[in-house]
Amino acid sequence: MSSTSGPLKRKVVIMGSTSVGKTSLTQQYVAPPTYTASYYPTIEDTSHKIVKYKGADYDIEIVDSAGLEEYSLFPGKYAVGVHGYMLVYSIASRQSFDMVPTIYDKILDYAGLESVPLVIVGQKTDLRDERSVTKEEGEALAKKLHAGFIESSAKDNANVSGAFEALLEEMQKVYNPQPEKKKSGWWPW
């Protein structure tokens, strides 16, 4: 890919229950170190970051959504023009983990798709003494939803970049931004 064509634009939405660390994860990724222990509910915030991943430049638009509860209305705008999703739960909150499949189903319903590029993030690994969701449970859910999986801690800045790289990997499987191979002969494929 030539650098003159510009970075590949990718829009991602970060979703999950309230207080699972979506905003902290986003802020740590976009402008580290920015972790703060104060909690201010997010209505919606959009950030951008340009990164290089597997030889390609990406301009990532990150939509940090408001926390969703089980009976929340799903904002339809989160299903339009989105390339990938990061569904976040707290390893210290069973309720937030149990919400992930509900959010996933709402995404599929609104997007009208059978699957979407997705990574599930078990956030707040710094709260290991309060863990109520095992890593194995997170991995099993990710496998069931055909998603990537990673655990992270925005507070400790552990696996923050890894979470976004895992999402880029899932998006690459679908959108495959690899340069086309030189074709030989007249055959079109």
Q: Is 113 left (phi over 0), alpha (psi -120 to 50) or beta?
A: beta
37 domain residue, yes or no: yes
pTM, full prediction = 0.85
163 domain residue, yes or no: yes
Confidence of residue 179 (pLDDT cuts 50, 70, 90): very low
- What element of type H or E holds 97? helix 94-111
**What pLDDT is recorded for position 99?**
95
53 domain residue, yes or no: yes
Residue 117: closest CA among 60, 47, 188: 60
**What pLDDT is recorded for position 42?**
62
Mean pLDDT, the chain, rounded, equals 86
Confidence of residue 79 (pLDDT cuts 50, 70, 90): confident
Top-confidence range, 49-53, 74-78, 109-113? 49-53
Number of domains in the chain: 1
**What pLDDT is recorded for position 5?**
78
For residue 97, what is the domain's CATH number?
3.40.50.300
185 domain residue, yes or no: no
187 domain residue, yes or no: no
Q: How many helices (H) and strands (E) are present in the chain, helices listed first?
A: 4, 6
127 domain residue, yes or no: yes
**Average pLDDT estimate for 169-173:** 93
186 domain residue, yes or no: no
Q: What percent of the chain clears pLDDT 90, i.e. is strictly above it? A: 62
- Print the domain residue range for 134: 3-175
**What pLDDT is recorded for position 44?**
72
**Average pLDDT estimate for 93-99:** 97
**What pLDDT is recorded for position 9?**
92
Whether the per-residue pLDDT at 189 is higher than 80: the answer is no
Whether the per-residue pLDDT at 154 is higher than 50: the answer is yes
Cα(107)–Cα(141) distance, integer angstroms: 16
* Helical ranges in 52-177 per DSSP H: 94-111, 135-144, 160-175
